[in-house]
Amino acid sequence: MSAASARGRRAVSLRQQVLGTVLAINAVAALVAGAVVVLNARAAARNEMGASVEMAELMVREAAERIAAEGSGDSPLPTHLRHLRHVRLTVRDAAGVPLSLGDAPAGAHHEADDDARAPAWFARLADVPALVRTIDVTRAGRPLFQVEVAGVPDDEIAEVWGDVTDFAMVAVAVNGAILLALFLALGRVRADLGRFRVTLDALEHQRAVEPLAPPRIRELAELAHGVNALAAALSAARAENVRLNARLVRLQEDERRQIAGELHDELGPLMFGLKAGAESIARLAGQMTQPAPLPEPLAGRLRERAEGLVAIVARMQVANRRLLRRIRPAALDHVPLADALASLVQDLNQHDAGRAVALELGRLAGHYGPALDATLYRCVQEGVTNALRHGDAHRVEVALAEGEGRLRLVITDDGRGPPAVVREGLGLAGMRERVRALGGTCRLEPGAAGGARLWLDLPVPADDLRDEAS
Ligand SMILES: Nc1ncnc2c1ncn2[C@@H]1O[C@H](COP(=O)(O)OP(=O)(O)OP(=O)(O)O)[C@@H](O)[C@H]1O
Ligand SMILES: [Mg+2]
């Protein structure tokens, strides 16, 4: 899981991805809308300004005709012309000097409203080419004055700007609400997915899992249902596996017990008889007098051979007892596991005065079923023997405890540590097979402070499986 989770940490989260996508779409939409608004503003300003300039030109020409026919008043133009929208009128006399119109210029009432004006950058974007018309006013062929009608798009641009800002505020508010809602909804999805991850992680590491509560989102609820079904199937398969393996180890133990029994019951008396026979031959060789005492060299050789036989049988008896102890630790049948281990460690301590084996037992049940009891016993036996034999250790520490449904056995020593490449013999291979058969793991590694560290982790069988294994 570690590589996958490292990959997962590098990947973008669902929330970042969705919110980032929505923000990107919003940014593109805002750019497109801005471009459309600017183009529309330009078209509207051009149309409005064109129509206003046309209208103003028409009205100025009518006024000019009236002035030419009737003569002028105080002002060169009628006052209503001065208030036309989207145009600015400039009047110049025949010499080209601007004349005052006596009132505010056309369009001034809009320009005074500074708040409603578009900012300069928008006005520049939406600006349209200037539209100017010039009308000469004459009377009897004599030029009186000249009127310049210039289009002023500012009002239209300001109107568009007003619409844009209103629309932008609504769009920002709506998008903000959408993003907030997505943020919260995706947070809930993330929390649900987090629970999935914890459950899958527990399944992967063979820890007990609680069924997932169904999330409120339908698809996730279906997924949770699937994960729960998978967890149930997996734990049933694991339980079955443990049960079968425990049975396998139990059968092995039974077989060993049988062999041990036969070695003890059959071979033991035979060797005893052989030894007694050889001893009596040696004795008889010295006692034989009829028909004549055996010549001394012959009697001596006979005694020698018989004593040799006795010594061989004695060695066979020792080997047989050692074999019996290895095949079937008798202690396990009669005393709790902790006591059997204590007596094993005591035995191991007697091998060599210069070396010490310490045993530290945590909370332990009396028995975990014959399969697991025998496995722990043999692993301690093999682990300590290896530390003394291969590591040449002076101190070996054996720690065994039960916790959170697991049994942990750690054997550390102060020896020379395992070689870079460990060539497994029967010891480690047998240990691994037994431990794996019971659903556990084992590892031999260099110790933190030198030496070697043998590490075993085994699931504690449920009570029914313990019975099954017994
Ligand atoms: N505590 C230890 N310190 C150093 N080396 C170790 C230790 N335990 C195991 N080893 C290394 O692991 C190898 C394999 O051990 P294993 O018990 O499988 O086989 P073995 O002890 O050589 O033979 P067998 O156990 O079959 O009599 C050993 O030869 C040794 O090199
Ligand atoms: Mg070994």
Chunk the chain into consecutive blocks of 10 residues (it has 470) and report each block's average pLDDT, rounded to whole numbers.
Answer: 56 88 92 90 87 88 79 61 80 79 48 64 84 84 83 85 90 93 92 92 85 91 94 88 78 82 84 89 78 76 89 90 75 83 88 86 90 89 93 95 94 95 89 86 93 95 57
**Residue 103 and residue 76 in contact, taking contact as beta carbons nearer than 8 Å:** no
- Domains defined for the chain, CATH in brackets: 12-180 (no CATH), 336-470 (3.30.565.10)
**pLDDT for the residue numbered 410:** 97
Residue 390 beta carbon below 6 angstroms from any ligand 1 atom = yes
Rounded Cα gap, residues 467 and 198, in angstroms = 32
Encode pLDDT of 191-229 as tens digits. Answer: 999 999 999 999 888 788 889 999 988 999 999 999 999
Rounded Cα gap, residues 359 and 341, in angstroms = 8
**pLDDT for the residue numbered 27:** 92
Rounded Cα gap, residues 462 and 239, in angstroms = 9
Residue with tokens 């008043």: 73
**Residue 60 and residue 106 in contact, taking contact as beta carbons nearer than 8 Å:** no
Residue with tokens 């560290």: 453
Rounded Cα gap, residues 234 and 202, in angstroms = 12
Ligand 2 centroid–CA 375 distance in Å is: 15
Look at ligand 1, atom 5, and give the residue with the nearest C-alpha: 418
Name the token pair of 78: 């009628």
**pLDDT for the residue numbered 330:** 64
Residue 418 beta carbon below 6 angstroms from any ligand 1 atom = yes
Residue 425 beta carbon below 6 angstroms from any ligand 1 atom = yes
**pLDDT for the residue numbered 309:** 92
Ligand 1 centroid–CA 385 distance in Å is: 9
Q: Which long-range contacts (CB under 8 A, 24 or more apart) does 234-237 make?
A: 234/203, 235/209
Residues 6+ apart with CB under 8 A from 180: none
**pLDDT for the residue numbered 107:** 44
Rounded Cα gap, residues 349 and 396, in angstroms = 10
pTM as predicted = 0.51
Residue 319 beta carbon below 6 angstroms from any ligand 1 atom = no
Ligand lying nearest the CA atom of residue 452: 1
CA neighbor of 229 nearest in space, from 260, 199, 261: 199
**pLDDT for the residue numbered 5:** 55
Name the token pair of 273: 């008889």
Task: Provide the 3-class DSSP secondary structure of residue 205.
Answer: coil
Task: Provide the 3-class DSSP secondary structure of residue 182.
Answer: helix
**pLDDT for the residue numbered 352:** 72
Rounded Cα gap, residues 448 and 468, in angstroms = 39
Encode pLDDT of 147-187 as tens digits. Answer: 888 888 888 888 888 888 999 999 999 999 999 999 999 99
Residue with tokens 């035979």: 270
Name the token pair of 262: 């036969």
Q: Residue 141 belongs to what H/E stretch? A: none
Query: For the chain, how long is the longest CA-to-CA vector?
Result: 191
**pLDDT for the residue numbered 178:** 93
Residue 387 beta carbon below 6 angstroms from any ligand 1 atom = yes
Rounded Cα gap, residues 46 and 341, in angstroms = 101
Helix axes 154-204, 14-70, angle to 10 degrees: 170
**pLDDT for the residue numbered 31:** 92
Name the token pair of 253: 């133990």
Look at ligand 1, atom 6, and give the residue with the nearest C-alpha: 418
Residues 6+ apart with CB under 8 A from 253: 328, 370, 371, 374
Rounded Cα gap, residues 85 and 108, in angstroms = 9
Ligand 1 centroid–CA 424 distance in Å is: 6
Report phi then psi at 11, rounded to 5.
-70, 155
